[in-house]
Amino acid sequence: MYQSKEIEKTFKFSEKDKETVKYSPNRFSVAPMLDWTDRHCRYFHRLLSQQTLLYTEMVTTGAIIHGKGDYLAYSEEEHPIALQLGGSDPQALAHCAKIAQERGYDEINLNVGCPSDRVQNGRFGACLMGEAELVADCVKAMQDVVNVPVTVKTRIGIDEQDSYQFLCNFIDIVVQRSGCNIFTIHARKAWLSGLSPKENREIPPLDYPRVYQLKKDFPQLTIAINGGIKSLEEAKQHLQYVDGIMIGREAYQNPSILAQVDHELFDASMPVVDTVAVVKALYPYIEQELSKGTYLGHITRHILGIFQGIPGARQWRRHLSENAHKPGADISVVEQALAMVTERM
């Protein structure tokens, strides 16, 4: 677990130059994804990569303060883990950030990128790009009550406010007024009306060079890039220009990519993780959760894509999809599905 902005992890690569390379925990992360990156998903992802920074789904301040459930629950094995907050009231955000730090979260991230109508109606998400001073006040309020990093995830612009100068002005105001020094930039602008959240992830064109330029113009900041990245080879290309990579849907739909992250992006002496072994390592967690009343399907929906491209993958997905939601479904459903893969290896 990292505790401050200054702490970095050091790994020794077994490359020919044998040099020591320092990486911040934001070098590689899995994006916060609503209805996807819940605690079961994160536990599974942690088995695939020890170094990847994992984000929660976006949690609103209202849910934490007034909700009846425990929206901050996670397993200790998930560290390093970041909480993404949705909100625009500095006091409420500070209150929730303090609670999150007390619960052991390693980072607090403010959502300034979600374009959905529901989020806009709550006056948070991407619409906050038009209120840089408010974003700065929110970040500052959180920083004043916690000593873990407070970070911002945002877009490159909104609606007609999509010039590079607009992005620079936004970043500059937030940095100058709050001292925030870690930003994740989704390399697409957001249309606040006319496009659905899904369309906003696909229709606005990607502009990676704009993010590269941002890092060049703000070299003192840690800048991670997000949007449309589908392989670790692409990630390595981006890392020539920015400090970190955030992958979303590709990491969820094809989680085996995470099995290679530690080896490819952090420490070449670390082995690529065996995905079959990971599924078996998940068994104790599944049985523990089943004993608490969790439905098997709530866990297995996150592991459907682990064998993508491998013989038996279709049978694996079909067996889990057809049986995990049946009453009384237990670990044997997963064991049977796994056998459909291993018998073809």
Average pLDDT, the chain: 92
Q: What would the mean pLDDT of 118-137 be, rounded to a whole number? A: 88
Two tokens, residue 121? 């109606």
**Phi then psi dihedrals of residue 8, to 5 deg:** -130, 155
Catalytic residue check, 114: yes
What is the Cα–Cα distance from 52 to 209, expressed in whole angstroms? 24
Confidence check: pLDDT of 59 > 80: yes
CB-based contacts of 218, cutoff 8 Å, min separation 6: 171, 172, 175
- List residues bridging with 185 in a β-sheet: 154, 225
Long-range contacts at 233-240 (CB < 8 A, ≥ 24 apart): 235/28, 235/265, 236/264, 236/265, 238/208, 239/27, 239/265
Local structure of 104: helix, strand or coil: coil
Confidence check: pLDDT of 86 > 60: yes
Q: How confident is the model at residue 214 (pLDDT cuts 50, 70, 90)?
A: very high
Residue 196, pLDDT score: 86
Residue 115, pLDDT score: 87
Two tokens, residue 85? 């907050």
Q: Which CATH superfamily is domain 25-266 in?
A: Aldolase class I (3.20.20.70)
Residue 21, pLDDT score: 55
- For residue 141, count other CB atoms closer than 10 A to its CB: 19
Local structure of 9: helix, strand or coil: strand
What is the Cα–Cα distance from 85 to 167, expressed in whole angstroms? 21
Bind-site residues for FMN? 32-34, 84, 153, 186, 226-228, 248-249
Contact 214, 171 (CB under 8 A): yes
Confidence check: pLDDT of 85 > 70: yes
Residue 117, pLDDT score: 75
Query: Which of 190-204, 232-246, 330-344 shows the lowest per-residue confidence on average (mean pLDDT)?
Result: 190-204
Bind-site residues? 32-34, 84, 153, 186, 226-228, 248-249
- pTM given for the model: 0.91
Residue 22, pLDDT score: 60
Q: What would the mean pLDDT of 137-149 be, rounded to a whole number? A: 98
Q: How confident is the model at residue 23 (pLDDT cuts 50, 70, 90)?
A: confident
Domain ranges of the chain: 25-266, 275-343
285-298 per-position pLDDT tens digit: 999 999 999 999 99
Question: Which run of H or of E encompasses 321?
Answer: helix 313-323
Catalytic residue among 41, 114, 127, 180: 114
294-320 per-position pLDDT tens digit: 999 999 999 999 999 999 999 999 999
Q: How confident is the model at residue 335 (pLDDT cuts 50, 70, 90)?
A: very high
What is the Cα–Cα distance from 23 to 243, expressed in whole angstroms? 8
